[in-house]
């Protein structure tokens, strides 16, 4: 992957949606930000729960609660255009299972790490410390704070 790019974990997007972090500021520091369908789905569910105040079971059995938020759902989709989606294919799934066995990661985290590894994404932006050992073991740099992001992007500007 050419240029400075990073994969963004769900928790970073949730922090943006709750107003605790500006993902657009992060985006300005990178040439490309990546996600996958796992991050999209998890982020969208958290967003939908925040909009409705309801649990997934209730939303499943009362689809009208979802339908009343068409505009917000379209806005979420538009927001997600800042990310380039990386496909989860059989090779990524195979790597994910290996990472589950090797590092004890849960499926979604293993799929995120496997996506990074398969596509050669050097940086993973996540507030989840569960990734620390696995990222280190797979040669992926975990960025878990704005300070770490700033350091990486400033080093790039100096070169």
Tens of pLDDT, residue by residue over 133-148, are 999 999 999 999 888 9
Tens of pLDDT, residue by residue over 95-154, are 999 999 999 999 999 999 999 999 999 999 999 888 999 999 999 999 998 889 888 877
Gyration radius of the chain over CA positions: 16
Query: What are the tokens at 130?
Result: 């569960």
Tens of pLDDT, residue by residue over 22-66, are 999 999 999 999 999 999 999 999 999 999 999 999 999 999 999
Identify whether the C-beta of residue 121 lies closer than 8 Å to the C-beta of residue 132: no
* Cα distance between residue 114 and residue 108, in whole Å: 10
Q: Domains of the chain (ranges plus CATH)?
A: 5-156 (3.40.50.1010)
Give the global pTM. Answer: 0.92
């Amino acid at each position: 992957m050419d240029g400075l790019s990073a994969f963004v974990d769900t928790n970073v997007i949730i922090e943006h949606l709750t107003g605790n972090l500006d993902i657009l500021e992060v985006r300005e520091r990178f040439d490309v930000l990546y996600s996958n369908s796992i991050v999209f789905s998890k982020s969208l569910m958290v967003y939908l729960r925040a909009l409705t105040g309801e649990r997934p079971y209730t939303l499943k059995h009362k689809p009208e609660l979802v339908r009343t938020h068409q505009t917000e759902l379209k806005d979420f989709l538009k927001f997600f255009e800042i990310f380039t989606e990386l496909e989860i294919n059989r090779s990524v799934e195979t790597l994910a299972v290996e990472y589950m066995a090797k590092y004890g990661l849960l499926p979604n985290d293993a799929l995120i790490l496997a996506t990074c590894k398969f596509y050669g994404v050097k940086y993973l932006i996540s507030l989840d410390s569960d990734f620390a050992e696995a990222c280190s073991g797979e040669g992926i740099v975990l960025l878990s704070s704005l300070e770490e992001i700033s350091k990486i992007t400033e080093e790039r500007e100096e070169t």
